[in-house]
Every structure is written in structure tokens, then in C-alpha cells.
Chains A and B, each alone.
Chain A
Amino acid sequence: MISVALVILPAVATLGLAARAVRSRATVLLVGVAMVASALAAAEAMAPPGGPLLGGLARVDATSQLFLAFINPIFLGVSVYVWNRVSMTPTLQTRMSRFVGLALLFLAAANAVLLANHLVILWIALEATTLAAAPLIVRPGVQASRQASFRYLLFSSVGLGMVLLGLLCLARGMEADGHAPTFFIDRLPELAAGGANRWGKLGLALTLLGLGTKLGLAPMYSWLPEVYDESPPAVTALLGAVQFNCALVMLFRVVQVYRPGNTALVTGELLTMGIISMVVSTVSIIATRNVKRLIAYGSINHAGVIAIGLGVGKAASYGLLLYVISNAFIKAILFLTAGKIQAHYRTKDTRRISGLIKDLPYSGVFLMVGTFALLGFPPFGSFVGELLILSALVSAGHMLVFAMFCVLITMTFVATGRTIFPMIWGEPREKHAWPRQTFLSSSPKIAFLIALVVLGIYIPPVVNGLVQQVAASLEGL
């Protein structure tokens, strides 16, 4: 029942905001609930997988355990960042109860995505994360953020609409094969094992395309840079590190069920979306001079790598999962740091930011380490992940994809380094009297950084066991 509490607790806590006494301490409530949720998620990750819950609508398996174990702590880190930010900036206090209410609903829906054992319930929970996140993107009085928020909702609705249409086509495929349609994930493998008919193939293609849209993969990726750029940094971190992984879990569920009977379709579509995403993001990274957009294009690049790893499967799966977990921490570190840098320099233009390591030492270090991890340097998990994916591409004979991957990753490295490194090590342009950075304000990023490094040099046995189980399940349940 721990897992059910992970959904119910944040949802019920939202109701607590009705009381005026709670509203005035909304950020404390946010941190408190996030702490309890993280502890519960850790306990759930270490417990043996349980049976079906709530009449089979929910289930705890290795995939849900693994993702619960890192999504909830990331949410906690972002909550601590928000609490500290509000403590330091009293003007933010007035709008906090609305933010906290929506953030808690977002957490409840995100945990529901991870626990759902029914594809339509999973879809509803993913839509709920979108509906809770859309108003959070809006910064009061900033029209561009309102437009970005609308674009986010529109693209998400259309992408998830395609997913629903895909699921309905898959149901038609089951009917055509003489089976009673079902969306219960644990019952689907036996119905999907025989390969797909035309409805099934159409449904699978639409589902992958729709989830690709939600992940920011080409062709429908254009919403992502604008939304990540315009959102408050805490919200960008939630979108990039939490919601991205919720959408990824749905993609994993679909691949776990349908890959065995449709290997060519799954591989072809994911490889195509992945490599095109890498191409467009690389070109955009070369062109952009906006630090938040640069990280956003880096996210599209990472989504492309993940799609390629998932498309190849087999030996790549273990590396893919290391890459996914590292990616979540990298994005949380980089987006929170970018927010800090923007708040201090009052610009997002990379050419006007210089000498970070002297001006803002913590932020300089976070940006430096985050960029190295983003680019896949050792000792980070992203390095091992990329290496295993590249090796699997060669083993599977996808030499053209391998060659393009290598060229694009090199171009990304050069373009990112050319933009970011002068920001860190360049000479400060202007003399400012910077407010001192406290340890507390940097503590969430320090925690993310420790997790990132630990993942690269020593993976705890519990996490390693879960990663191996999930990697095996990506070849079929």
C-alpha cells in the first residue's frame, strides 16, 4: 500500500491548502510532502515487487520501482530549491499556494503514471501531469511565457491524442484477431505475441509518434525549446527531469509489450526519430546564443540518443537506462543553474556572461560539471551509457546510424564547449557586488551532483539489480 500512498498523499495535501494557516506555509508543505514521498519511494524500491493493486489497475514492478526511486528525490530537490528561493525573495510568497497546489497534483499524477497497470489510465495520468504543469509555465505579466504555456498544452494534447488514437487502433487489432480488447499491461503480452495486423501496426506507429512528441523528438519537437526557455527554472527542471521520464515510462511499457511481435517497426521508427532529433538539435546548438535554449536543445539531443538506444535494444538497454537516470540529474542541475545565472546577470545571452567561476563559484562549478556530464565525459553514467549504445549499434549492424551518431555527438561537443566554456572560464566583463551564495541554496544541486557521480563510478546493488531487470524487460515481458 506504500505505492498507493505515493499518489494519495500529494493529492490529499493539495486539499490542505484550503486552510489559511497552511497557505502561508505552502512551501514547507511542499518540502514536507516531497520528503515523505521520497522516503516512501525508497522503501518501495527496496521491497520485493508486489502483486496487482486496486483490482489490477496498478502494479509495482522493476520499471516502476526504478523510476519512483529517482523521480521523487528529484522532485524533493526542486522543492527545496523553491523553498529556499521563496525564503530569499519575499515577493514570490504571494503566489505560492497556487504553485504548491499544482506541483503536488503534478507529483501525484507522475507517481500514478509510474504505477499504472492499464495503458489508458497511464495515458490519463500523463495528461494530468500536463494539465497541472501548463499553468505553472506562466510567469505573471510575461506574455511570452503565456504563449509558451499554450503551445505546450496544444502540442501535448495533440501528441497524447495521437497516443490515444494509437491505443484505440491497437484495440481494433485485438478485435480483428478475435480477442476481447484490453489495456491491462500484464495481460497484453499474450495478445500481442503473435505479431500485429494492419490495425496493430498503425496503432503502434501512432503511439510511438505521439509519445515522441511528448518527449520532444522530431518531427514535433518545436514546442520544447520555447517552453523550457520561458518557464521558471524550477518548472523547467520538473518538466525535463520528472515529466520527461513519465512519458518515457509509457514508451517503455509500449515497447515491453509490443517489441517482440514488431521488432522492425519499433526499431525503424525509433531510430529514425532519434537520428533526426540529433540532427536538428545539433544544428540548433550551433546556432543558439541563449543559455536556456542551448540546454533545451541538449535535451532534444539526449532524447534522440535515448530513442536510438531504445530502438536498438538488446545490449544497449542497460546503457540506455544508465543514460536515462544520469540525464534526469543533469537536466535538473543545468536548468536550476541556468535560472541562477539568468537571475544574476539579467540576461540569457551567452556572449554577455563571462567569468562565472569567479563571479558565482557554485554555479560555475555546477555548469562546468553538468556540461561535462551532458557531453558524455567519464566518469559520469552518460559516458558509459553512450558507449554501450554505440557498441550495440555496431553489433546490430546499424553502421550508418553509428557513423551519424559519432559525427553528430562530436559536433555537439564542439558547439557546446565553444559556447559554455568561455562563460565559465572567461574574464568577468563587469564588476558586480554579488550576493553571497549560501550552501543551502546550492544543496539540491550538490545532492544531484553526488548522485550523478555515484552513478558513474559505483552503482549501488539495489539500483543495479533494478536496472538489469528493466533492461531485460525491454526485450519483452
Chain B
Amino acid sequence: MSPLLMALLGVLLVPLFVATWRTSLLGLSCQGLLMAWIAYRMAPEPSTASEWLTLADLVLVRGLGAPLALYAVLHAQRAPARNDVIPPNLLSWTFALGIVLVAFNFSAALVPEHGQQQILVAVAATGVMLGFLVLATQSGPFSQMIGALRIENAIALFELGGERHHEPLGVQLGQIAVVAMTITLYRWYLKTLTASSGAADEGTPDGATL
């Protein structure tokens, strides 16, 4: 599993340096699919509804649904290829790499035994902190969505590493529904915010409102 986790770390880092929106979405997709692969390696013969739901969430919602939903909007709007998720300068890149070091040290403090658990926690911590870096340095809606979705994926990875909980199936379905609805709303915002960003307000601030 360690090579998969290292690949996931690479997928987290590459879109920070290759600044196009397609790379960001591809990175997001790879995160979902790699996490699905990791989940499959943990339970190679999925037998319970919970295991199947986990795979469906990672492949269909996070690996395919989220990137494709955002891709369709940007493609339709013919968005310029370049899109920085962190400022393109040496300071930001150093900061991003510094975050990876901090995450690995943090993980070593929390999980003293060397092994896959330690690496998994380190990669998840990297994902969360890089997501916050993106959110802190970017103000555009697309970049901020990418930052938030990176954090959501990192939390899902961290959840994979925990003991298999015997939680009700409805709870897992509810969590997936929340992610799916959030992505649907992101798509709506990306469509409406980007489309009208250049236009002035059509209405007046003091118009009839509830």
C-alpha cells in the first residue's frame, strides 16, 4: 500500500506546480481513484454494503463526479488554461514542501510505530494542510473549490485508515449525500459566479426582498 500512498502524495503536489485547471481536476480525480484502490487493497473482496458504498463514494463521487461536474462548466465557458492554485513563486513552493515535512513529523508524533498507518496519516495531514494553503492564498471560486475538495478527500483518506466502524448504513449514505450535494452546489456557483463576474448587478441592493 505504501507505493499507492506515495503516488497519492505525488498527486497532491503536482497540481501545485503545474498550474492549469485541467491538471487540478485531473489531480482531484486521481486522488479519488487512488483512494478507491487503497480501500480495495484493505478489503480485497468487498462483501458488505458498507464496503461497496465506500468504493462507490471514492470512484463515482470523488474520482469521477466532482472533477467531471466542474470540468463541464469550465469547458463550456472556455476558461483560460492557466489557473494557479497557489501563487507561482519560490516562497509558496517552499512553503508547500515545508508542509509535507511538517505533516510527516506530525504523523511520527501521533503514530509512533513505523509503517503504513504512519504514512497514511502523514499523507492525509499533507492533504488537509495543502488544502488550507490553497484556501488561504487564492480568492477565485474555482481555486477555493479545489482547496475545499482537497480537504474533503484528505478527510476521506484519514477515515479509510481507521478501524472499520459498525455504524448504521444510513450514516454512511448521509455522508455521501452531503458530499454529492456540496459538489452540486459548487457546480452551480462555478456556473453563476464565473458567468456574471464581469457584469454589474442586475438588481438593486434595495429592491424587493424577503
- B residues less than 8 Å from A235 (CB atoms): 210
Indicate whether A262 reaches chain B with its CB closer than 8 angstroms: no
Q: Nearest-CB distance from A170 to chain B (Å)?
A: 11
> Are A161 and B165 within 8 A (Cβ)?
no
**Among B7-15, B45-53, B86-94, B178-186, which stretch is in contact with chain A?**
B178-186
Interface of B is mostly: helix
A82, closest chain B residue (CB): B210
Asked if A165 and B205 sit within 8 Å, CB to CB, the answer is no
B148 near A158: Cβ-Cβ < 8 Å? yes
- Taking a contact as CB atoms under 8 Å apart, the answer to whether B189 and A150 are in contact is yes
Are B205 and A168 in contact, with the CB atoms below 8 A?
A: no
- With beta carbons under 8 angstroms apart, the residue of B110, B145, B186, B203 that contacts A142 is B203
Among B171, B175, B185, B202, point to the contact of A141 (Cβ < 8 A). B202
Given the known inter-chain contacts A120-B171, A121-B171, A158-B135, please indicate yes or no for A150 contacting B141, CB distance below 8 A: yes
Q: Which of A86, A124, A142, A198 is close to B205, meaning CB atoms less than 8 Å apart?
A: A142
Chain A positions 135-170 with a Cβ under 8 Å from a chain B Cβ: 135, 139-144, 146-147, 149-150, 153-154, 157-158, 161, 164-165, 168
Chain A, Cβ-Cβ closest to B159: A168
B208 near A92 with CB under 8 A, answer yes
Q: How far is the CA of A124 from the CA of B170 in the complex (A)?
A: 11
A233 close to B (CB within 8 Å): yes
List which B154-210 residues lie within 8 A (CB) of chain A.
155, 158-159, 162-163, 165-168, 170-171, 174-175, 177-178, 181-182, 185-186, 188-189, 192-193, 196-197, 199-203, 205-210
> Which of B109, B167, B170, B206 is within 8 Å of A183, CB to CB?
B167
In the bound complex, residues from chain B placing their C-beta under 8 Å from that of A141 are 201-203, 207
Report which of A86, A121, A131, A146 forms a contact with B182, defined as CB distance below 8 A: A131
Q: Do A157 and B148 touch (CB < 8 A)?
A: yes
Q: Are A175 and B174 in contact (CB under 8 A)?
A: no
> A175–B121 Cα gap in the complex (Å)?
15
**Residues on B with beta carbons closer than 8 Å to the beta carbon of A421:** none
Chain B contacts of A348 at CB under 8 A?
A: 205
Q: How far is the CB of B24 from chain A (nearest CB, A)?
A: 16
Residue in B159, B168, B181, B186 whose CB lies within 8 Å of A57: B168
Any A CB within 8 A of the CB of B151 = yes
Interface size on A, residues (CB 8 A): 56
- Of B128, B135, B167, which is in contact with the most chain A CB atoms at under 10 Å from its CB? B167
Nearest A-chain residue to B154, judged by Cβ: A165
- Of the candidates B151, B162, B171, the one whose C-beta lies within 8 Å of that of A124 is B171
Tell me, in angstroms, the Cα distance from A141 to B209 when the chains sit together.
11
**Complex contacts, B171 vs chain A, CB 8 Å:** 118, 120-121, 124
A261 touches B (CB below 8 Å): no
Contact B201 A153 (CB under 8 A): no
Determine if B20 is an interface residue (Cβ-Cβ < 8 Å).
no
Contact of A232 with B by CB under 8 A = yes
The 6 A-B pairs of least Cβ separation, nearest first, read A141-B203, A141-B202, A124-B174, A346-B206, A232-B210, A234-B210
Interchain Cβ contacts under 8 Å between A and B, 29 examples: A57-B168, A82-B210, A89-B208, A92-B209, A120-B175, A128-B178, A131-B181, A134-B185, A139-B207, A141-B202, A141-B203, A142-B201, A153-B185, A153-B189, A161-B152, A161-B155, A168-B162, A172-B162, A175-B162, A175-B163, A181-B162, A181-B163, A181-B165, A198-B110, A232-B210, A233-B210, A234-B210, A235-B210, A348-B205
Residues of A at under 8 Å CB distance from B? 55, 57, 82, 85-86, 89, 91-92, 99, 118, 120-121, 124, 127-128, 131, 134-135, 139-144, 146-147, 149-150, 153-154, 157-158, 161, 164-165, 168, 171-172, 175, 180-183, 198-199, 202, 232-235, 339, 342-343, 346-348
Given contacts A121-B170, A183-B167, 14 further A-B contacts (CB under 8 A): A92-B210, A99-B210, A120-B167, A121-B174, A134-B185, A141-B202, A141-B203, A153-B182, A154-B145, A180-B163, A181-B163, A182-B165, A233-B209, A339-B209
